[in-house]
Structure 1
Amino acid sequence: MRLYPDPVLHAVDRPVGPGDGPPAGSVEDLVEDLYATMYAHDGVGLAACQVGVPLRLFVFDCPDDDERRHRGYVLNPRLVHTEGDTVSGFESCLSLPGLESVTPRADVAVVEGEDLRGEPLRIEGTGFFARCLQHECDHLDGVLYTDRLTGLRRRRALRAARRAPWNTAERQGR
């Protein structure tokens, strides 16, 4: 798992193409590894960049506000539509373990991409699931939820990240 402030978390990831995958396997293997890693860390979503693979791909297993479970993956996702109220709710990230902050997100999100066969996918989410879709799409563009914060909330979140026991850059004086 890549942790803040690893530069890979602020890089724009490249599209998944034919023959892509980590050096030791296929994109299918990467999807399975992402699920296993997400479950091992009690997450609801995980982008490939969070395990050091700079490809536009994420997995999710996330409830919406009505407790309906949504499980899947998407290659080359694009956030194509958001609507509804902007809702400020607690958000966290596996790359910033133990931290959370109230973060504004649209209450409805639509993501389009493709499956492992290259077939089109369209995923629509509301509530907490919409938050998850937006959060994971942000990862692929090098954006962390802390980048969406402003003012005192942002300063507090970044200070907590710098002081976190897992932040080796801070412990090494960088």
Structure 2
Amino acid sequence: MTAQLLVEKKKLENPPLKIHYLGDRVLRQPAKRVAKVDQSIRQVAQQMLQTMYSADGIGLAAPQVGIHKQIIVIDCEPDNPDNKPLVLINPTIKRFGSKLCDAQEGCLSIPNVYLDVMRPEEVEVAYKDENGRPQTLKADGLLARAIQHEMDHLNGVMFVDRVENGLALTEELNKHGFSPQAVKPLA
């Protein structure tokens, strides 16, 4: 029986957690593995979901809210009340698909900035669910992209670090008040 985290998919006027933005050092620190999945971890995941829905996001990693634990929450269908959000604790990618796909990404830590990023189209990820049970998930499309994007956050990597079009990157960041110096390109 799953102790499904019950979170209403709605915007809260005062979300429980504060999202950090590009340039904040906490976003660059690698997250630590969760030793034990207990009620405190489930509560963090619940608050992360509430914060994500409040910000109109489809994914959120614990480092984005200043928590250095390997926890990510994802819901690619935030407007569908029947779609259960995913909680991935200590996720590891077991396999990447061979096909790459270029698609636009955005991030709650870099509001209003959307740029193309090349990523594998499919992934297989192993993780623990909110009850501490080991799970494996094969994902493609938007879900695969969201998993990779959020897992990057666990390693202090942000999607702008993966953007290949430097000119578009600099323009977009400047336009929205972010410093291009905060980007750490993956070479």
Candidates 113, 120, 141, aligned match of 1:106: 120
Q: What is the identity percentage for the equivalent residue pairs of Structure 1 and Structure 2? A: 29
C-alpha distance in 2 between matches for 1:5 and 1:28: 28
Give CA deviations for 1:61-81 in whole Å, capped at 9, x if unaligned.
Answer: 015xxxxx5621111011121
- The letter for the 2-side match of 1:160 is E
C-alpha distance in 2 between matches for 1:154 and 1:45: 25
Aligned residue pairs: how many?
Answer: 159
Greater Cα shift, 108-117 or 45-54:
108-117
- 1:79 and 2:93 equivalent? yes
Structure 1 residues without counterparts, runs of 5 or longer:
64-68
Report if the CA contact (8 A) 1:60-1:70 is conserved. Answer: no
Q: Which residue does the alignment assign to 1:66?
A: none
Secondary structure at 2:172's aligned position in 1? helix
Report if the CA contact (8 A) 1:112-1:122 is conserved. Answer: yes
Report if the CA contact (8 A) 1:46-1:60 is conserved. Answer: yes
Runs of 4+ more than 6 Å apart: none
Structure-2 change in CA distance of 1:33 and 1:88 (3 Å): same
- The letter for the 1-side match of 2:132 is G
Q: Which residue does the alignment assign to 1:17?
A: 35
Q: Which residue does the alignment assign to 1:28?
A: 42
Between structures 1 and 2, the one with greater strand share:
1
- The letter for the 2-side match of 1:6 is D
- The letter for the 1-side match of 2:32 is R
What is the TM-score when the length of structure 1 is the normalising length?
A: 0.82
Structure 2 residues without counterparts, runs of 5 or longer:
1-18, 78-82, 183-187
C-alpha distance in 2 between matches for 1:162 and 1:70: 36
Structure-2 change in CA distance of 1:148 and 1:30 (3 Å): same
- 1:118 and 2:132 equivalent? yes
Structure-2 change in CA distance of 1:158 and 1:54 (3 Å): farther
Report if the CA contact (8 A) 2:128-2:135 is conserved. Answer: yes
| Residue 26 (structure 1) shift | 1.1
Report if the CA contact (8 A) 2:59-2:72 is conserved. Answer: yes
| Residue 117 (structure 1) shift | 3.0
Secondary structure at 1:98's aligned position in 2? strand
Q: Which residue does the alignment assign to 2:16?
A: none
What is the TM-score when the length of structure 2 is the normalising length?
A: 0.76
Report if the CA contact (8 A) 2:36-2:132 is conserved. Answer: no
Report if the CA contact (8 A) 1:112-1:121 is conserved. Answer: yes
- The letter for the 1-side match of 2:114 is E
Report if the CA contact (8 A) 1:91-1:102 is conserved. Answer: yes
C-alpha distance in 1 between matches for 2:150 and 2:175: 25
